[in-house]
Amino acid sequence: MIVYALLAVACSQPDAPPATETGTPSVVETGDSGDSGPVPDDSAITYYEDIRPIVDRACARCHAENTQAFSFNDAATVVGYADLIASETAARRRPPPVADRTCAAYTGDAWYVSDDDIATFAAWAEANTPLGDPANASPPWERTTIGPYDRTLTMPQPWAPTTDNRYRCYELPLGNTAPTYLRGLEVQAGNESIAHFAVVYLLPPGVTTREGRNPQGYDCGGLGEPGWQLLTGWMPGAQGLKFPEGSGLPLPADTRFVFQMHYRYTAYDAGSTDQSALGLLLADSVARPITRLDLGPTGFTIPAGDPNYAETTEMTWTSPDAEVLAVSTRMNHLSAGLEVTAGTDDACVARYTRYDAFSPYPILLQEPRSIRNGDPLRATCRWNNSDTSPYQMYHPPQDARDGVSNDSETCKVTMYVVPK
């Protein structure tokens, strides 16, 4: 991220819209269902009653001890950052993008920062950061897990990055002699000061990784290699993907996963090592086997300079009535978001209005979306390949192609569907 942030500064481009004005707090009407309610009048906004709950649900998973950003655990730090928090959230530069909960309720959607939350930050800074009553403090944020796991596949050796922005790939065999079912999976980061985000793929039979089962892993590209099937991703605080009771994804004998870690590194991290793991929930049989669908577009070229290029792919569900359980996504630098819909009414299943490296964590729908035989499933991926893209690498911009090298683009959308 550091590299990207520097690039953004170097190009001195404004960040992506939409921005909300700071200063005068106002209730922004967005039709934002599930919001935290109207913004109270300024004088009533305090740290303990109003700010801390937002920070705990939307920031603490990265801004705590032993994570990748400075801790927001004490009132004084948050007070000190009040103006910057107000301006950074208003410009939608912080926090990093998460899926839009106005599309669908999903596991982890408390991370979403609404316009009302942003107005609350602004009003609190404007009112000179009153603290309120510590007795009203919410309990501190705690990590949740889908464990205990049935199996844990660990990076065979610890790894120590020595430069920033490194991808490291590991081929991890499950070692199963018989077919089995995947009930859930979760990345267990070893050292969150350097483990930045991760992506997990399935290797279909016959598909290999460039360096096979090198126990030290190997430096790899960020977009995988041909044939790798996206399963899910991880970012700090992300809970794993656990399918609803009785459902599971069929895995053939000799299943192999690819575990792709992304590391950040600064001078403070010298000597730090990481040994992350993949926790698995498995079952010999399930009542409802899951179908994994790849929905994203391929073979596209995003024209140089185009600020709003979109590719829509569509697939028809041609089996008995079913339910969409979850979605995983992966895009690259130039992403301007994506939307996944299901059914003739194009019901929203997953949507990002901004997207960055932190975004490929699992979206498990709180209410599975019903689909019927003949229904369309659609994915629309958007890119900004103009000078205004915050992560634009080329000035002037160049055509960007679907591919696997770090300067190409991708839009992988995995949908998990199960019979009713």
Binding site for ligand HEC (CB under 6 A): 1, 58-59, 61-63, 68-70, 81, 84-85, 88-89, 94-96, 113, 235-236, 358
Q: How far apart are CA 10 and CA 387, in angstroms?
A: 12
- The CB-of-93 to ligand HEC minimum distance in angstroms stands at 8
CB of 345 to ligand HEC, least distance (A): 32
- Select 178 or 267, whichever has its Cβ closest to ligand HEC: 267
Cα-only R_g, the chain: 21
CB 169 within 8 A of CB 218: yes
- Amino acid found at 1: M
Interatomic CA distance for residues 233 and 142, integer angstroms: 20
Cβ neighbours for 114, distance < 8 A, ≥ 6 positions apart:
30, 32, 35, 36
Report the run of H or E that residue 173 belongs to, with start and end. strand 166-173
> Nearer Cβ to ligand HEC, position 89 or 329?
89
By beta-carbon proximity to ligand HEC, the closer residue of 203 and 235 is: 235
For residues 209 and 232, which CB has a smaller minimum distance to ligand HEC in the complex?
232
**Nearest Cα residue to 52 out of 64, 44, 62, 60:** 60
Q: How far is the CB of 62 from ligand HEC (least distance, A)?
A: 3
DSSP state of 96: P
Taking the complex as a whole, how short is the minimal distance between the CB of residue 244 and ligand HEC, in angstroms? 26
**Helix H or strand E encompassing 82:** helix 82-90
Distances (CA, A) of 193 to 58, 166, 220, 262, 376: 18, 14, 21, 12, 42
Q: How far is the CB of 59 from ligand HEC (least distance, A)?
A: 3
Complex with ligand HEC: residue 96 or 244, whichever CB lies closer: 96
β-pair type (247-251, 288-289): parallel
Q: How far is the CB of 120 from ligand HEC (least distance, A)?
A: 11
- Identity of the residue, 88 or 294, whose beta carbon is nearer to ligand HEC in the bound complex: 88
* Closer of 72 and 228 to ligand HEC (Cβ): 72
Q: Which two tokens stand for residue 107?
A: 């596991």
Least distance to ligand HEC from the beta carbon of 356, Å?
Answer: 9
344: tokens are 């003739």
Q: Cα(199)–Cα(221) distance, rounded to whole angstroms?
A: 12
Query: What is the three-state SS of 196-254?
Result: EEEEEEEECCCCCCCCCCCCCCEECCCCCCCCCEEEEEECCCCCCEECCCCEEEEECCC
Strand 247-251, strand 151-154: pairing: unpaired
Shortest distance (Å) from residue 60 CB to ligand HEC: 8
Neighbouring residues of 76: CB distance < 8 A, sequence distance ≥ 6: none
Beta carbon of residue 391, minimum distance to ligand HEC (angstroms, whole number): 15
**Smallest distance from the beta carbon of 318 to ligand HEC, in angstroms?**
38
User: Toward ligand HEC, which CB reaches closer, 140 or 289?
Assistant: 140
C-beta closer to ligand HEC: residue 1 or 336: 1
Nearer to ligand HEC by Cβ, of 70 and 204: the residue is 70
